[in-house]
A and B are shown apart, each in its own frame.
Chain A
C-alpha cells in the first residue's frame, strides 16, 4: 500500500511539474475562471429596462406631452430621441439607436377633448426578441392604464357613477432576488460550467497527450498499476477544481454579495461528486479519442455545450422541448447546478437534495468504472 502511495505521489508530482513548467497552463486554470466569473457576472443579464425609445409628437400639445411623460416615467422605456417625421423612425431602427417608436398623430388632443379614441402607433423592433417582448407588453399595459385614467377623469367630470370603473392593479413582487440581479442567479451555476470546462477538457487531453508523445508506454512498463496511474493523474485536477470552487465562492461573496445560505458541506460534497463525474467523462473521452484534435472536439461537444446549454445555468430547462430535457438528464451538469443554486440561494442542505446527490454519485461511479475498463483494455493490447 505504501508503495502505491509513493508511486501515486510520483505521478502527482510529475503532473504538477508539467503545470509548473508551463506557467500559461496555470494561468488558464486559475486566472481564466476569475475572468470568466467577472465577465459573466457583470455582463450577462436578460433584465430589460430602459429600452431606447424615439418619440414623434406630431400633435405638440400639453395633452400629448403629458401622455409622453408616462413613457419617460416608466423604467422600461428611455426616451433617447425626439423625431419630427416618420422617416426618423426608419433611420433610428436602421442604425439601432432606438428599439421602440411612439408616434402621436396630429389631432391627438382634439380627439380626446371631443371624447374620441385618439390614435397612437407604437412600433417595436422585433430583432432583439427579449427586449421587444418586454417593450410590447409594457406599452400595451401603459396605454390601457392611461385610458383608464382618462375614462375615470371624464366620468368624474360628468358626475357619473364610478362604480363600474374599478380596476385591478398588479403588484409585482420578485422573490429570492428582489433587485433582480442576475449575478445571484448566474454565479452558482457559473461555478459548475467553469469546473466542467477545466476538468473535462484538461483530463481528456492529458492522457491522449501521453499517448501521442509515447510516454504512455514508458508508464506502462513502470511498476505503476493502472488504478494508481489514474488516481495520480486525476488528483491534481481535483485539487485545481476545488481551488476554483473556493475562489468563485469567495469572489462571489466579496464582490457580488452572493449569499451562501445553506451548508458549505453540502456544496463541497456536491462539488466533489461533480468533479469525479467530470473527470470520469474526461477519462472516457481520452480512452476513445484517437487523437488530440478529436479529444478536443469531443470534449467541446459533451462537456462544454451541455454544461453551458443543458444545465439550466442560464437557460430554463422547463422551456425546452421534451427530447432535450431527457437529453439533459444524461449529463451531470444539471444536477450540480440545482445543488449549487439551492445551497447558495435557498439555504438547502444534503437532506433536501438527496436525489441530485444520488444521481451525481451514480454518474461518477459509472463514468469512472467504464473509463477505467476501456482504459485497461486499451493498454493491455
Chain B
C-alpha cells in the first residue's frame, strides 16, 4: 500500500473532473434543485384547498358553517354555485377540489334536535388531497357541533370527553421536516451510484483501465484512489443539502450528530458497493446509466422517501425491507425529527451494517477478481 500512489490517483481524478467545468457546476446545482423541488413540491403542506359551497339552506347556521370552513385556513371558498348540478363542471375542470353542500332545512333540523346530514364532496383523483381534505372537513364539522353543544348550556352539566390531541416530535406537522433528512441520504445514494459508476466505466470504455494495471498500482490502492474523490464530492453535496435544510427551510435538528454521522457512514459503504457493482456489470456508460435507473426507481418508490410505507398494500410492505435506503431514512429521520439515540435505532443501524457488509464486500471481491483477470 503506497500513500503516494493513492494521492496521485486522487489528484488525477480531480484533474479529470476539473477538465469539465460544466460538470462540476451541475453537480452542485443538482442538490440545490432537488432541495427546492422536494422541499416545496413533495413536502407541501396542504392548505387553502379551492372549495365550492352550495348553500341551499341560506340561514344563519349555514353561513356559520361556511365561515368555519373558510376560517380554518384549510379551505378557500372560491365558488358559490346555486345548485348541486353546477358542481359537476367545477370539479371536472379541477377549478375546485372540495365541495360543501348544505341541504335546505338544515337549520330547522338542528333546532328540532335532529341529526342533519351535510354533503362533503372531495375530488378523489388526488389521494393525498382527498384523504387530508376529508379529515379536515370532519374535524371542522365536529368542532362546529361542539361549539353548538357548549352554547346550549346542557353540556356544562353533561358528561363528556376532554380529549387532548397532541402531536409529538413534529408539532407543526410540516412535511419538510421529514423530507430534508431523507433527501440527505437520497442525495448520497444518487451521487455515489451515478457519478462513480460512470467514472469507472468511462475508464474501461476508453481503455485507460488496462493502462492503469500495467502500472505498479495495486487493486486496493486503485479502489481507494478512485473512491475517495467521489466520497468527498458526495459529502459536499450532503453538506449543501443539510445547510439548505437547516438554514433555509429551518428544519429542526433534535438528535445527536453522532447518530447521523454513523448512520451515513454505514450507508455510504452500501452506496459505494452498489456503484461498483453497477460499473462491473456495465460495458458502456449508457448501460451503467440504465442499470442505475433500474435500481434508483424501486429505491425511491419503496423506501418511503416520498410515499409513506404505511400506505402501501400489506403484500408490498415486506419488500421495503430489501431496500437499504429504507433504513438510512429511519436513522436520519429518527435522529432529526424524534431525536432518537443509538438504542432506539439499533434495528435500522444493524440493517445498514448488514447491507454494508454484504454489498460492499461483494463489490470489493468482484472488483478485485475482475482486476486480477
Residues of A within 8 A of B (CB): 22, 24-25, 28, 32, 35-36, 39-40, 42-48, 51-52, 67, 93-96, 99, 111-134, 136-141, 143-148, 150-151, 154-155, 160-178, 180, 182, 184-185, 197, 201, 205, 209, 289-294, 296-298, 300-301, 305, 309-310, 314-316, 318-321, 324, 341, 345-346
Contact = CB atoms under 8 A, between A and B. Distances in A.
A377 B276 CA distance: 39
B366 interface: no
A43 B315 CA distance: 10
Contact of B158 (A113, A143, A154, A296): A154
A43 B142 contact: no
Contact of A173 (B48, B119, B160, B168): B119
Contacts of B30: 297, 300-301
A372 B112 CA distance: 74
B142 A141 contact: yes
A203 B158 CA distance: 72
Nearest to B320: A43
B129 to A, nearest CB: 6
Contact of B119 (A44, A171, A315): A171
20 contacts: A39-B297, A46-B131, A67-B161, A121-B163, A127-B338, A130-B132, A141-B142, A143-B165, A144-B146, A145-B145, A168-B110, A168-B144, A170-B117, A172-B120, A180-B130, A290-B22, A291-B20, A293-B20, A296-B194, A320-B44
Interface of B: 20, 22-23, 26-27, 29-30, 33-34, 36-38, 40-42, 44-48, 50, 65, 91-92, 97, 106, 109-132, 134-139, 141-146, 148-149, 152-155, 157-175, 177-178, 194-195, 198, 202, 284-287, 289-290, 293-294, 297-298, 301-302, 306-308, 310-313, 316, 330, 333-334, 337-338, 340, 344, 347
A179 to B, nearest CB: 8
Given A39-B302, A46-B311, A151-B155, 12 more contacts: A46-B127, A95-B347, A111-B159, A124-B165, A127-B333, A127-B334, A131-B308, A133-B173, A167-B145, A169-B118, A185-B127, A316-B46
Nearest to B50: A318
Given A36-B297, A113-B159, A205-B286, A48 B310 contact: yes
A32 B290 CA distance: 9
Given A134-B135, A169-B116, A197-B293, A315 B312 contact: no
A46 B118 contact: no
Contacts of B29: 301
Residue from B40, B165, B198, B333 whose CB has the most chain A CB atoms within 10 Å: B165
A164 B152 contact: yes
Contact of B165 (A96, A136, A148): A136
A297 B25 CA distance: 11
Contacts of A40: 301
A145 B142 CA distance: 7
A292 B110 CA distance: 70
Nearest to B315: A42
Nearest to A170: B141
A90 to B, nearest CB: 9
Nearest to A202: B286
A42 B307 CA distance: 11
A122 B106 contact: no
B144 to A, nearest CB: 6
A175 B121 contact: yes
Contacts of B172: 126
A309 B142 contact: no
Interface of B is mostly: helix
A166 B338 CA distance: 42
B92 A346 contact: yes
B92 to A, nearest CB: 6
Contacts of A35: 297-298
B19 to A, nearest CB: 9
A20 to B, nearest CB: 15
A143 to B, nearest CB: 4
B330 A96 contact: yes
Contact of B178 (A118, A119, A129, A150): A129
Given A94-B344, A124-B165, A169 B142 contact: no
A130 B169 contact: no
Contacts of B158: 115, 150-151, 154-155
Nearest to B288: A296
Given A93-B168, A128-B308, A298 B26 contact: yes
B327 to A, nearest CB: 11
A370 to B, nearest CB: 19
Nearest to B341: A94
A258 to B, nearest CB: 12
A113 B131 CA distance: 36
B160 A150 contact: yes
Nearest to B135: A137
A176 B131 CA distance: 14
Contacts of B40: 320-321, 324
B145 A148 contact: yes
A293 B19 CA distance: 12
B41 A310 contact: yes
A119 B164 contact: yes
A167 B110 contact: yes
Contacts of A178: 124
B170 A132 contact: yes
Nearest to A138: B135
A316 to B, nearest CB: 6
Nearest to A188: B125
A293 B109 contact: no
A191 B330 CA distance: 31
Given A134-B131, A165-B149, A118 B160 contact: yes
Nearest to B20: A291
A137 B127 contact: no
A309 B141 CA distance: 33
A46 B308 contact: yes
A48 B131 contact: yes
A373 to B, nearest CB: 20
Nearest to A145: B142
A123 B127 CA distance: 25
